[in-house]
Amino acid sequence: MGHDKLRKFAENETFSCLLQPDASAVLDKSGDPSLGLRLHDHPIKGHWNSSMFRKDQPIVLELGCGKGEYTIDLSKRVPDRNYIGVDIKGARLWRGAKTATEEGLQNVAFLRTRIEFIEAFFGPGEVSEIWLTFSDPQLKSENSRLTSPLFLERYRKFLKPGGIIHLKTDSRFLHEYSKAVALENGLTILDSTVDLYGDIPAAGRSSALYEVQTFYEKMFLSQGYKITYLEFTIDHEGPYAHPSDFDADYWRSIDGPRRFVHSPTSSQR
């Protein structure tokens, strides 16, 4: 491990806005592996506003936040929300946590964990919105996609009724797959576009959608790729169904080989 990473990891321990529990704190290995992932609740579950933030405000998550630039920017624009960026890469979270600390931002926190463990950290109705910004489209692994029925079931356990999911991506594959999941399950689609910057802004669409950009968004825009956006609620009773009419091969071909050229090993590309 390089000296710079070690320095960042050491400094991460000093940031009060960064929670980075060991996986053993939430992962239950005592059960039957065939029954799937078993988790223990972390003590902060249901207590984020009282334990981490100074104000009791609606909580917004960014899953796969990378360096946290989107989380930081949104927190400044909308101070009446509490924002939590989630990622597994400590060296990347260092940047967001350091910025939040240096600028004294009171409505920002970061959580270092695998997104598969997310339900161990948030209680029923504790979260109002989720942002998925340039998530890995997982072209070959449906259950690894952050908008798959498996993940929607996890989100439902802690999203408020009518809670919103925002998906911003350059991947037409992930956009169309997510829309197909929403339609299959009768979810309410609040907004959808396959060319965010080419469309006339929809009435009520936040300016932050255009003005707040991640590193990868800037990169793909500079290369001429279109950015898509999907906003929907997960108001659904019963199990989530997989989309029956999504042509994965077709949309995989639309995304093309660049998906493998630019995708780093993270939940956020």
- The active-site residue out of 22, 28, 136, 249 is 136
Residue 263: what pLDDT?
41
What is the distance between the alpha carbons of residues 115 and 267, in angstroms, rounded to a whole number? Answer: 8
Query: To 10 degrees, what angle do helices 69-77 and 90-102 make?
Result: 30
Residue 265: what pLDDT?
38
Domains of the chain: 1-123 (3.40.50.150), 135-153+172-269 (no CATH)
Which token pair is 232? 């929907």
What is the distance between the alpha carbons of residues 78 and 140, in angstroms, rounded to a whole number? Answer: 36
Residue 32: what pLDDT?
54
Residue pLDDT tens, the chain, 269 long: 677 888 999 989 999 999 999 988 898 877 655 556 789 999 999 999 999 998 999 999 999 999 999 999 999 999 999 999 999 999 999 999 999 999 999 999 999 999 999 999 999 999 999 999 999 999 999 999 999 999 999 999 999 999 999 999 999 999 999 999 999 999 999 999 999 998 876 667 888 888 988 888 998 899 889 999 999 999 888 999 999 999 999 999 998 775 444 444 344 45
What is the distance between the alpha carbons of residues 231 and 182, in angstroms, rounded to a whole number? Answer: 10
Q: Is 80 a catalytic residue?
A: no
Nearest to 109 by CA among 87, 136, 132: 87
What residues contact 27, with CB distance under 8 A and at least 6 apart? 37, 38, 39, 40, 117
Residue 4: what pLDDT?
85
Distance of CA 128 to the CA centre of its chain: 13
Residue 262: what pLDDT?
42
What is the reported pTM?
Answer: 0.91
